[in-house]
A and B are shown apart, each in its own frame.
Chain A
Amino acid sequence: MTNGNYLRVVATLVSGVIFGFGLSLSGMLDPARVRGFLDVARDWNPSLAFVLGGAVAVAAIGVVVARRMRRPLFDERFHAPTARVIDRRLITGSAIFGIGWGMVGLCPGPALASLSLGLPATLLFVAAMFAGMAVHDRPGVARAWLQKSPRDAGRAT
């Protein structure tokens, strides 16, 4: 592992810890509270709007700084998403995701973060979530797990 690679992994780990801690502090790990936030017609708990607001505001500062940099600190280039078109996949996928999120009150970040609390219900949800991802990404998953052939990179997110 070269030095740049090593720093990149450390930065990624640190970023993950901050993210998981932020989720814990914010209340986003609690599905009951997330569903309370989504329940606008009944007993609405608006506190989680501040999570998204605070997150977007600070991330936006990061975006402004990034636009002034030629390249990130530990990589050759920025890997910004390239897709521009609002298509049916985006809308249908987001709608399906939203239905699942509303049903349980967990999205991928909180689901993975709360694995460390060791609740069987979380484990079941995460297993089902990975199954859903695997069904969508069948070719890439098959290449990675079933064959020994050299794999090409998956679709960028």
Chain B
Amino acid sequence: MTDYWNALAGGMLIGLSAAVLMLATGRVAGISGIAGRLLQGVQPVAGGAFVVGLAFGPVLFRLLSGQWPEVTLTASWPILVIGGFLVGFGSRLGSGCTSGHGVVGLARLSKRSIMAVATFMSAAILTVYVMGFFA
């Protein structure tokens, strides 16, 4: 049950973060866009500030709760490398990921984002389904 409350509260904070960024700076909280721009030296200060804040989030969680967030990452290194590459390339080609299309795009009722979310959710569900036969 706690899982559900934490999921809801955490999700609402993610939405709050997106609202703060939009109302203060007029920008979409899309992590793949921020990371992609950083890589190209575009808006390095803003992008750097966001990523530093993002990485500080778990540290703040540790300070407040006394424990690190749970991370169980058992993927083999080839899976990590291929998966990471596909996440990076695909999110740039599709102009967004779970945050930009998933959170802000859906909140804006953007047709492009609705299509993107339907596509990446289906692809991810199918991938987990297929990989389950080889586990």
Contacts and interface: CB of A to CB of B under 8 A. Distances in A.
Interface of A: 7-33, 35, 38-42, 45, 47-63, 65-66, 69, 71-75, 77-81, 83-86, 89-109, 111-117, 119, 121-122, 124-137, 140-141, 143-145, 151, 153-154, 157
A126 B84 contact: yes
29 contacts: A9-B45, A9-B46, A16-B56, A18-B53, A19-B29, A19-B54, A21-B57, A22-B17, A24-B60, A25-B10, A26-B9, A30-B69, A33-B72, A54-B15, A59-B107, A62-B20, A66-B22, A75-B26, A93-B92, A95-B90, A97-B93, A98-B123, A100-B90, A101-B87, A102-B128, A103-B82, A117-B68, A122-B71, A154-B37
A157 B121 CA distance: 20
B7 A96 contact: no
A127 B84 contact: yes
Nearest to B76: A121
A90 B115 contact: yes
A10 B24 CA distance: 10
Contacts, number: 520
A126 B88 CA distance: 9
A99 B126 CA distance: 8
A126 B61 CA distance: 21
A13 B99 contact: no
Interface residues of B, number: 110
Contact of B80 (A40, A125, A153): A125
A20 B53 contact: yes
| Interface of chain B: mostly helix, strand, loop or mixed | helix
A42 to B, nearest CB: 6
Interface in B76-108: 77, 79-108
Contact of A23 (B10, B50, B73, B96): B10
Interface string B1-28: 0011011111111111111111111111
